Amino acid sequence: MRFSKLVMILTLFGGVALLGGMVWHVGLSGLLESFRAMGFWLAPYLLLRTVSTLLHAVGWAACFPGPRLPCRFWQLVLVMRAGSAINQVTPTADIGGEIVRVLLLKPFLPQEQALAAVAIDKASATMAHMLYLAFGMLYLTQSLPLPMAVQVSIALTIGLIIAGVGCFIVLQRYGLLSKSVGWMAVQGWWPSRLQRFREPITRLDAQFATYYTAHPWRFVGSLIGHGAADVFEIVKTYWLLRLLLGAAAPGWPEAALVAIAVAALDQMLFFVPGRLGTLEGSRFAVLSALGVSQIYGLAFGLIARVEHLVWSGLGLLAYAYCTRFFPAVSTRSSTPVSPASS
């Protein structure tokens, strides 16, 4: 625990130092001028995130069993946004937000079903993002002069994550999680602890099996929803570059390069708390590699920071709303109900 806290503090101070160094190098006056160039258009740009949010919600909606969602679609959007905010503002490596989503879904369906829907969606969203990056890397490495070490690191990271997520999906599909836990217990690996978790994992396996056998094409639909949200980042990047650079802005191919490269670097640096410094630095480095003025490169990164803060704030408001106005968990019937009837 002490080591992890030390790493978190060091990465946090490193991010602050990186951000401060970039601002000092570029100069405050030029940076403010690039923000003034956007003016009124900054607010509409921030609203574009709504499209990505809705597409991701569509992807998650396909991860529930039953003919209907267990809650209204707008409630699902709020739960998803709340979980994303917890992931973004806490150093929980994208785990804390998933736990929050399970807890916020408890008024609408049994905990095993909520946990299964969150786990399936996590696998779907991660796989869609990695496939987006994998295909993008084929285009990226041929067009953007990234150092070979960076290319190898990105490719290795993407490959390992795809392999890991693929194995997790196979475990879900064939109900192998409980069997794996049972095998480890037989081998003498923490037998007392594993036996305690084997029963709930068996129930979770049953939920996975129901989903993948009764609705085999829904997972594909979930991949399409999350993938469309990732591809929409290219549209956002193109518009932001047009707002910053005007007629000198690069075209669609270059905007795609920027979006893919930024997404790949963000994936590699996910462990930095709040992505402080790295969120701005990745965008600064990619635009600099394309020959864009450093002033606009840093402005591009700082606008991403503003977007991050605004939508994290909205997510925390969503969390406050869900915990205050959603049906109380204690008022649920103790009898399990199906998603269709809830």
pLDDT at 136: 84
Residue 327 has what DSSP assignment?
P
Residue with tokens 């392999």: 163
Percent of the chain topping pLDDT 90: 29
What does the pLDDT look like over 247-284, one tens digit per residue? 888 888 889 989 988 988 887 776 666 666 677 778 88
Asked whether residue 333 is domain-assigned, the answer is no
Structure tokens at 252: 């669609």
Half-sphere exposure of 321 (CA within 13 A, CB side): 16
Whether 133 shows a pLDDT value over 90: the answer reads: no
The mean pLDDT value for 164-185 works out to 71
Torsion sign across C-alpha atoms 280, 281, 285, 286:
negative
Find the mean pLDDT for residues 56-66: 93
Identify which of 43-52, 90-99, 126-135, 298-307 has the greatest average pLDDT: 43-52
Q: How many domains, in total, are found in the chain?
A: 1
What φ, ψ does residue 43 adopt, rounded to 5°? Answer: -65, -50
C-beta of residue 36 within 8 angstroms of C-beta of residue 297: no
For residue 236, is pLDDT > 90? yes
277 in a structural domain:
no
Q: Mean pLDDT: which of 36-45, 54-63, 213-222 is highest?
A: 54-63
Residue type, 181: V
- pLDDT band for position 227 (50/70/90)? very high
On whether the CB atoms of residues 250 and 256 are closer than 8 A, the answer is: no
- Examine residue 206 and state whether it is found in any structural domain, yes or no: yes
**Domain annotation covers residue 127:** yes
pLDDT per residue as tens digits for the range 84-102 = 988 887 766 678 889 999 9
Nearest-angstrom CA–CA distance, 269 and 330: 40
pLDDT, mean of residues 62-91:
89
- Mean pLDDT (the chain) is 79
Residue that wins the pLDDT comparison between 152 and 188 = 152
Residue 315 in contact with residue 84, Cβ under 8 Å?
yes
Nearest C-alpha neighbor of 34 from the set 296, 241, 292: 296
Q: For 279-335, what is each residue's pLDDT tens digit?
A: 777 888 888 888 888 778 878 888 888 898 889 899 999 999 999 988 764 334 333
Output the DSSP codes for 95-116: -HHHHHHHHHHTTTS-HHHHHH
Residue 197: predicted pLDDT: 65
Q: Say how far residue 184 (Cα) sits from the centre of its chain.
A: 31
- Report which of residues 321 and 27 the model is more confident about: 321
pLDDT for position 266: 83
C-beta of residue 35 within 8 angstroms of C-beta of residue 299 = yes
Among 10-24, 222-236, 278-292, top mean pLDDT goes to: 222-236
Residue 47 lies in a domain: yes
CA distance 119 to 123: 6
- Contact criterion met (CB below 8 Å) for 106 and 114: yes
Q: Mean pLDDT, to the nearest integer, of 230-247?
A: 91
On whether residue 25 sits in a domain, the answer given is: no
Q: What is the pLDDT of residue 25?
A: 59
What type of residue sits at position 244?
L
Residue 337 reports pLDDT greater than 80: no
User: Any long-range contacts for 38-47 (C-beta under 8 Å, 24+ apart)?
Assistant: 38/243, 38/244, 38/303, 41/243, 42/243, 42/303, 42/306, 45/236, 45/239, 45/240, 45/243, 45/303, 45/307, 46/306, 46/307, 46/310, 46/311
Residue 145 has pLDDT above 50, yes or no: yes
* Dihedral sign of CA atoms 269, 270, 276, 279 in order: positive
pLDDT above 70 coverage of the chain, percent: 72
Measure the CA dihedral 143/147/148/152, to 10°. -90
Picking from 31-35, 208-212, 214-218, 240-244, which range would have the lowest pLDDT averaged per residue? 31-35
Q: How confident is the model at residue 179 (pLDDT cuts 50, 70, 90)?
A: low
For residue 177, what are the domain limits? 31-272+299-326
Spatial distance between the Cα atoms of 252 and 216, rounded to a whole number of angstroms: 35
Confidence (pLDDT) at 254: 87
- Structural domain contains residue 24: no
In a domain, 316, yes or no: yes
How far CA 257 is from CA of 146, 148, 264, in Å, comes to 11, 16, 11
